Structure 1
Amino acid sequence: MQTTIRHNWTLEEIEGIYKLPLLELTYQAASVHRQFQDPGKIQLCTLLSIKTGGCPEDCSYCGQAARYHTDIKVQALLPTEEVIAQAKKAQEGGSTRFCMAAAWREVRDNRDFDRVIAMVKGVNKLGLEVCCTLGMLSEQQALRLKEAGLKAYNHNLDVSESYYKEVISTRKFDERLQTIQHVRKAGISVCSGGIIGLGETYRDRISMLRTLATMDTHPESVPINALASVKGTPLENNPKVPLWDMVRMIATARIIMPKTIVRLSAGRVEMTDEEQAWCFMAGANSIFTGEEATLLVTPNPTFNADIKLLNTLGLEAYSV
């Protein structure tokens, strides 16, 4: 039974965990989960796209990239009042974390960023945990967000460093790490994970997890996403990620980062209740939910469906 938090995992050790027989892997992950977390609790989060589409990046999985021809409608930055109203609805529905996402490559010091600061302050006053994902941040911008009341910042690694250039060419892997460092230095909790199903090997997945698990402080939350294929993007024809690949990723993340919240993120809409239950058993303890049934620009289960599932499984929503 694991009793310590480690930051010196090797690729070989993580591969050994990832390749365990599935039932043994799930058992070990569930055991670690019970040692460090309450397995009966799930955090409900709501993710709102406050600025949609028109992004100059070329992330090959993303329908918000301006260069791809998708059906996603470009939307300017939402009014602050509308965002606060959406946050209230999410809170009334049981969400305890409200994340605001803008399809930017990086944050710029302009009026739009001032408006985001006002949104953070407004959502914070509601008593919700406030999270943002806005692209790359400077150290000073991270400090401004912290002062406004930001609790967490999401900046996913997406893939391993070695496979990164196969998926994204408009920024470097090191720039991802630099933003995470700025967030951590500002005293904001880090939310960083990845996407599987991009054409990567299982070794790429292990390498991405090792990058997260060998940080001086593990990310407070790690989203595990299955590719949600968007028509018009280079990866639109990639096959659906098998359930057992998701279970292996979640279980491995749980074992090597025991105190981290592992978020079962994109791809849930294609899972049955039984498949989601496997993911919770493997150590996932957070989901994104909401009445709009979307996760940014891709489908997501409805809030009512999620509450019904949690009730069936005997799980309770909680705030961290």
Structure 2
Amino acid sequence: MNELRNDWSREEIAEIYNSPVLDLMYRAATVHRQYHESGEVQVCTLLSVKTGGCPEDCAYCPQAARYHTDVKVHKLLPTEEVIQKALEARESGSTRFCMGAAWREVRDNRDFDRVLDMVRGVSSLGMEVCCTLGMLTDEQAKKLKDAGLYAYNHNLDTSEEHYEEIISTRTYDDRLDTLENVRNAEISVCSGGIIGMGEGHSDRIGMLHTLATLPEHPESVPVNALVPVEGTPLEKQPRVSVWEMVRMIATARIIMPKAMVRLSAGRVRMNLEEQALCFMAGANSIFAGDKLLTTPNPEVVQDKEMFQVLNLKPRKAFKDGPAVKFEQIPQQ
């Protein structure tokens, strides 16, 4: 059985990543079946609860205030509206609901108090509730945990070496510190990255190496293909091929076998066959809904058709996680 390890070397990961693609997929599929049910895919929904106006300069992001994009800035959504969106997501088959706010970091103010209320509300629906709010202190992570937060997303984005080409407004260590604060609060860690931002294969290997050598592997690893947005510095980047996604997903599956590997942004540009290759390579989660924060995503109807054609079955919430207390699920 493929063992759980946190002592992978870059050379070992490079050897896996660069192996013949069909051999790589076979090995990843074998590991996947050791730790997960074949054909089981978790459906997640991602909602932007506060959009645009971010002071950071992430080169891929249309929500940065300094770039001229079509993103409309809106303040934090009303709590009731967010809970309603979560209910609709649950009705359409999602078991994980993630709320994103375009902040550099969480501040201890009324907006954070409202996010804590949103977390309590979504948790009461029996869904895995996740947030991505920027940098977090130890104390803020504990408050989110106490409110019922199940997971926190904070992507590394790319390798430490390539990072300064993409972002200058916070450091790689800032990101790692937030992941440590999330882990210390006993919140499930969600962290991955984006490919197609001008990085080399060594950068992709480097990012995977950082994730796989954390004291504990992230429970969730999103693999995103850049969706170039007009007005951002990366607007002219060429599309990532499905084989590049397959290499990332398969390598992540082999070196972090228990993680949920999430086929995330970029899926809108993939046909059904390309997505099937990603599932074969070890992806076992998708994001549903017509948008991922501000970028387009396949519609729910298309995804339901894909589940039928590929005989995929939806994964339940909290399947392998710790017992989570939540209130009685409201009757519809």
Q: TM-score range by the shorter chain?
A: over 0.9
Q: Separation in 1 of the partners of 2:210 and 2:76?
A: 33
Deviation string for 1:78-137 (max 9, x for gaps)?
A: 000000000000000000000000000000000000000000000001111100000000
5+ residue gaps, structure 1: none
Specify the alignment match of 2:200 in structure 1: 201
Q: Separation in 2 of the partners of 1:130 and 1:213?
A: 24
Specify the alignment match of 1:222 in structure 2: 221
Q: How many residues align?
A: 317
Q: Separation in 1 of the partners of 2:269 and 2:277?
A: 14
Which residue identity does 2:306 align to in structure 1? L
Specify the alignment match of 2:119 in structure 1: 120
5+ residue gaps, structure 2: 320-332
Specify the alignment match of 1:159 in structure 2: 158
Q: Separation in 2 of the partners of 1:9 and 1:174?
A: 20
Secondary structure at the counterpart of residue 222 of structure 2? strand
Q: Separation in 2 of the partners of 1:49 and 1:164?
A: 24
Cα RMSD (Å) of the superposition? 0.5
Deviation string for 1:23-69 (max 9, x for gaps)?
A: 00000000000111111200000000000000000000000000000
Specify the alignment match of 1:302 in structure 2: 299
Specify the alignment match of 1:56 in structure 2: 55
Q: Separation in 2 of the partners of 1:84 and 1:54?
A: 23
Q: Separation in 2 of the partners of 1:13 and 1:4?
A: 14
Residue 311 of structure 1 and its aligned partner are, at CA, apart by: 1.0
Deviation string for 1:222-279 (max 9, x for gaps)?
A: 0000001010000000000011000000000000000000000000000000000000
Specify the alignment match of 1:70 in structure 2: 69
Specify the alignment match of 2:231 in structure 1: 232
4+ residue runs over 2 A deviation? none
Which residue identity does 1:141 align to in structure 2? Q
Q: Separation in 2 of the partners of 1:63 and 1:199?
A: 17
Determine if the alignment matches structure 1 residue 180 to structure 2 residue 179: yes
Secondary structure at the counterpart of residue 137 of structure 1? coil
Deviation string for 1:185-227 (max 9, x for gaps)?
A: 0010000000000000000000000000011110000000000
- State percent identity of aligned pairs: 66
- TM (norm. structure 1) is 0.98
Matches within 5 A, 1:1-320: 2-290=1-289, 293-319=290-316, 320=319
Residue 3 of structure 1 and its aligned partner are, at CA, apart by: 3.3
Specify the alignment match of 2:329 in structure 1: none
Q: Separation in 2 of the partners of 1:40 and 1:228?
A: 26
